[in-house]
A and B are shown apart, each in its own frame.
Chain A
């Protein structure tokens, strides 16, 4: 079972 990661888990807000 794969879970979809979110882009916000890798790049942070500026």
Chain B
């Protein structure tokens, strides 16, 4: 038996909108730790890892570990029927081939049940080791989204370079080239607007902008985004989910032949 009650149901709606462009079908894993997902895009270039910790739910019952295969577009269709202020409860019985999403209005005057068919998904699970990164950039998520959108009208790839001067996002294409530099800016009274750069050593990596743009769909989950870079590793683009967990996107770099 599984029963997870999330008072801030809009978080689940936002999570779905953030990942459904990247991943079509995925297994949601439920354990004592929390509600999680790990999935790759169809090209195996990007990976998304989601964690919603058990403590973040008002009620969390998961009698035994359960993996539920869901089509994310279908799940998004169902969650779009929940109001933004609704409380969402996810329910499933052991061995069942369906999951139920229950939506309760804040005043408890409307209760809806949506039952969705589960599917068998044969997915690879990758071990992601804890790593030291050469540079970690924390910046406003809206700013990062704007930069990725702006650069993708010029080129297909972005070179992210971190030096002691700041973080530089560069692209070039048929019509020309562009460079955007963000300097460290620790605005004291508005921490959500800060740009903080922790650099062990300079790093410069190239990534496909199409994926970066897709990751920025998670911007509504968090005011800040953290970008972790190392020359030997995929970049990690992380959005914290208020008090509950995170959504992390990993993207393999493009390497010069």
Contacts and interface: CB of A to CB of B under 8 A. Distances in A.
Interface of A: 1-14
Contacts of B44: 6-8
A6 B128 CA distance: 14
B157 A2 contact: yes
A13 B255 contact: no
Contacts of B47: 7, 11
A13 to B, nearest CB: 5
B125 A4 contact: no
Nearest to B254: A2
Interface string B32-56: 0000000010011111000000000
Interface of B: 40, 43-47, 124-129, 157, 206, 208, 233-234, 250-257
- Secondary structure call for the A interface: mixed
B255 A5 contact: yes
Contacts of A7: 40, 44-47, 126, 234, 250-252
Nearest to B251: A7
Nearest to A8: B44
Contacts of A13: 124-127
Contacts of A12: 126-127
Contacts of B128: 11
13 contacts: A1-B257, A2-B206, A2-B256, A5-B255, A7-B44, A7-B250, A8-B124, A11-B126, A11-B127, A12-B126, A12-B127, A14-B126, A14-B127
Contact of A3 (B129, B233, B234, B257): B257
Nearest to B253: A5
Contacts of B250: 7, 11
Nearest to B46: A7
A11 B251 CA distance: 11
B253 A14 contact: no
A10 B125 contact: no
B230 to A, nearest CB: 10
Contact of B255 (A2, A11, A14): A2
Contact of B254 (A3, A8, A11): A3
A5 B126 contact: no
A1 B69 CA distance: 38
A1 B80 CA distance: 42
